[in-house]
Amino acid sequence: MIKIKAQNISKIYDSANGKITALDDFSLEVEDGEFVCLVGPSGCGKSTFLRILAGLEPATSGSINIARSPNSTKPVNNVVFQEYAIFPWKTVINNVAFGLEMRGIGKKQRQEIAMSWLEKVALSKFANYYPSQLSGGMKQRVSIARALANDPEVLLMDEPLGALDAQTRTVLQAELLRIWEKDRKTVVYITHSIEEAILLGDRVIIMTAQPGRLKETFEIDLARPREIELTATAEFAKLSGIIWQALKDEVKQAYDAQMMDKVD
């Protein structure tokens, strides 16, 4: 069953110095329970696409359809934003319970649900802390727990581990794998790391440099459940070599474009 169907999405921004085409005729279909990773050079429109998927921003043209499971009362989607975007004025547990609170779920029940998610991301001891008292990795766990606690039909993640140091990132990748493999939610996951995309995804989609178009799709047939050790295998190295070939030109083009901007 197809869960997400994005057809011919284009997005043109009207900015002070002219029109910017962020996305050009980009289409994507995601199966129910599939983990899809979007990879592309920075500025290619990944975040834009995710915001359009989430309904936070209209597309200039094209259509989005997210199929709901029959009789479901779940929210359609929730986003884990690129910056942690957790509320500094709410405690950890109230941040995680935010979506539940907005949906009118009673205090006792939402605290219970939030607490169970805090346990899953190993933060239950910090339930009553404020975000300013947490490290970057912990903040991002809160952000992930907030989306998961709301139990959406699809989960949209925008470079959730992008701002973290290499070690914390590896730990959280393992945690994400473990959590996701339990209930296999439909996920669209943006990353700029090929390794992360292969490790987590069922499918890796490469986007072109700006304007963002579909460049190539790779099915990742590695067996599940996966472990972090997978990254050390020859098979993994071979895959990442192949995907890098597809991405390389786009990254270079984006880099050159950036240099040109600086020269102007």
Partner 1 sequence: MTKTRLLIIFIIFIALNIFISLLNLWQSIWWLILFVDFVLVVAFAEQVATIIPLKYQKLYQRALAISFPIFVLITWELIVNAGILNPRWFPPPTKIAAALWDLTINYDRFNKTSLFGRPWLAPSVLQSDGWPAVWSLFTESHVLTTLWRVFFGFIIGAIPGILLGIIMGLNKTIRMMLDATMSAVYVLPKIAIFPIMMLIFPNPFGEGPKIAVVAISAFFLVAISTMAGVRDIDPVFLQVAKNFGANRRQTFWHVIVPGALPIIFSGLRLALGTALIVIVAIEFIRAQIGVGYVVFYHWQILATDKMYAGLFVVMVLGILLTFILQAIERWLMPWRK
Ligand X SMILES: Nc1ncnc2c1ncn2[C@@H]1O[C@H](COP(=O)(O)OP(=O)(O)O)[C@@H](O)[C@H]1O
Measured distance CA(46)–CA(190) in Å, rounded: 7
**Residue 211: is the preceding peptide bond cis (ω within 30°)?**
yes
**Piece of the chain touching partner 1 by CB under 8 A; list 5-13, 58-66, 84-92, 192-200:** 84-92
Considering only 29, 63, 83, 109, the residue that binds partner 1 (CB under 8 A) is 83
**174-182 long-range Cβ contacts below 8 angstroms, 24+ apart:** 174/227, 174/228, 175/121, 175/122, 175/141, 176/144, 176/200, 177/225, 177/226, 177/227, 177/228, 179/120, 179/121, 179/148, 180/35, 181/224, 181/225, 181/226
Q: Which residue's Cβ has the minimum distance to ligand X? A: 47
Q: By CB under 6 A, what part of segment 199-238 binds ligand X?
A: 210
Q: By CB under 8 A, what part of segment 136-175 binds partner 1?
A: 146, 150
- Token representation of residue 128: 């009553």
| Binding partner of 130, given partner 1, Mg ion, ligand X, none, CB within 5-8 angstroms per partner class | partner 1
The residue count for binding ligand X (CB under 6 A) is: 13
Check if the beta carbon of residue 4 is closer than 8 Å to that of residue 33.
no
- The answer to whether 47 contacts Mg ion (rule: CB under 5 A) is yes
Interface mask toward ligand X for 30-59; x: CB under 6 A: ----------x-xxxxxxx-----------
Q: How far is the CB of 82 from partner 1 (least distance, A)?
A: 8
Q: How far is the CB of 258 from ligand X (least distance, A)?
A: 10
Nearer Cβ to partner 1 (13/87): 87
Nearest Cα to 44, choosing from 206, 179, 238?
A: 206
Considering only 52, 54, 93, 199, the residue that binds partner 1 (CB under 8 A) is 54
Nearer Cβ to Mg ion (35/49): 49
Distance of CA 105 to the CA centre of its chain: 26
Distance of CA 128 to the CA centre of its chain: 27
Nearest Cα to 53, choosing from 95, 103, 3?
A: 3
Nearer Cβ to Mg ion (23/123): 23
Nearer Cβ to Mg ion (47/95): 47
| Binding partner of 132, given ligand X, Mg ion, partner 1, none, CB within 5-8 angstroms per partner class | partner 1
Q: How far is the CB of 195 from ligand X (least distance, A)?
A: 18
Distance of CA 79 to the CA centre of its chain: 7
Q: How far is CA 87 from CA 39, 130, 161, in A?
A: 28, 9, 18
Q: By CB under 6 A, what part of segment 131-190 binds ligand X?
A: none
What residue ranges bind Mg ion (CB under 5 A)? 47
What residue ranges bind ligand X (CB under 6 A)? 13, 15, 20, 22, 40, 42-48, 210
